[in-house]
Amino acid sequence: MRRPPAVARVLERVTRTAREHEMFAPGDLVLASVSGGPDSVCLLYSLWHLRRLFRIRLEVFHFDHRLRPDSAKDGVYVARLAERLQVPFHLRSAQDAPARGVSVEAWATVARIDAADDVRLAIGARTIAEGHTLDDQVETVLMNLIRGGGLEAVAGIWPGGNRHGRSALAQPLLDVERVEVEAFCRGLHLRPRLDPTNRDTKHLRNAIRLRVIPEIERATGREVKRPIARSADLLREDRWELYASTVDAFERVVSGPPQEPRFDVAALASLPEPIASRVVRLALYRVMEPEDAAPWTRDGVEAILDLARGRPGRRRDLPNGSTARRAREYVGLSRTSPESRE
């Protein structure tokens, strides 16, 4: 049976993206993360139609964030899709709620990914496939520009796969626009669930999607999504090269156990500033405990670099409670201050 053009177009884009980034290997068990919305339903059906081409096995995961009174209906809908496609279904629900002052989107993302990774490990899946689209990529880039993020932030969503080191997350729809997703669903007579909170422009992502991007296109008289996404692709390549250089420099600069690293002052001073700051950030990331405040903030990284540039004997406290102290030849971190240890 011939596929509708809108369906064939999306399957072609997904195939190209998955192969370019080496997302799947023959025999892989792939866990598709499906919310029930248009993007994730498109993801599920795309992978189902391409499962023989990729030679993968497919299972479905749904996470109920419990942020809406009727959120359980989404899980029921996804379970029916999985049953229709005859693929195993896994449901998990949030056990807590975002704390006051915490970004709901950030909390929801972490909670969902953690739950999906638990399921992935339990069933022996190699990859979690998510339904982020090209529109999500553009919105993420603009959000991070507004927030003042660096290269890692404005490079946007990482596609995943094997091309730059194995990643458990894969984004097969990253070259598919939202209008193409909607046409795909119509072509297969699918009726995804719609989340009413996606229309609330109090959330930054929604404001960018519904107001900012359309206004930019009206003001410039041109389509801007694909050019912005293309910029993110170029920046990601730069980001990868910087990361590779950072890993190489890390071995020369950092010693000691992960929780109490030592930074060789002379080696750190010999590095270009972008590499030096990333070496420090990578080391501080390893220090973090689950309950800690993030120590690799700009202030935390600057504290280490400042100590390395200054005289021995100085010290700085980091946001997660660690203390950094400048010795003659290195800057060392400890979980408690020297006075506390004494």
Note the pLDDT tens digit of each residue in 217-232: 999 999 999 999 999 9
CATH number, span 5-131+159-194: 3.40.50.620
DSSP code string of 34-71: --SSHHHHHHHHHHHHHHHHHT-EEEEEEEE---STTT
Pick the residue with more confidence: 219 or 338?
219
- 119-155 in b/e form (b: 16+ CB < 10 A) is bbeeeebbbbbbbbbbbbbbbbbbbbeeeeeeebbbb
Q: Is the pLDDT of residue 121 over 50?
A: yes
Position 339 scores a pLDDT of 44
Mean residue pLDDT across the chain = 91
Q: Is the pLDDT of residue 197 over 50?
A: yes
Q: Decide: helix, strand or coil at residue 234.
A: helix
Longest Cα–Cα distance of the chain, Å, equals 77
Note the pLDDT tens digit of each residue in 2-38: 889 999 999 999 999 999 999 999 999 999 999 999 9
The stretch 132-146 carries a mean pLDDT of 97
What pLDDT band is residue 315 in, cutting at 50, 70 and 90? very high
Note the pLDDT tens digit of each residue in 145-193: 999 888 989 999 999 988 776 779 999 999 999 999 999 999 999 999 9
Position 289 scores a pLDDT of 64
User: Under CATH, to which class is 256-341 assigned?
Assistant: alpha beta
Q: Is the pLDDT of residue 290 over 70?
A: no
Extents of the domains making up the chain: 5-131+159-194, 256-341
Give, as one character, the DSSP assignment of residue 30: E
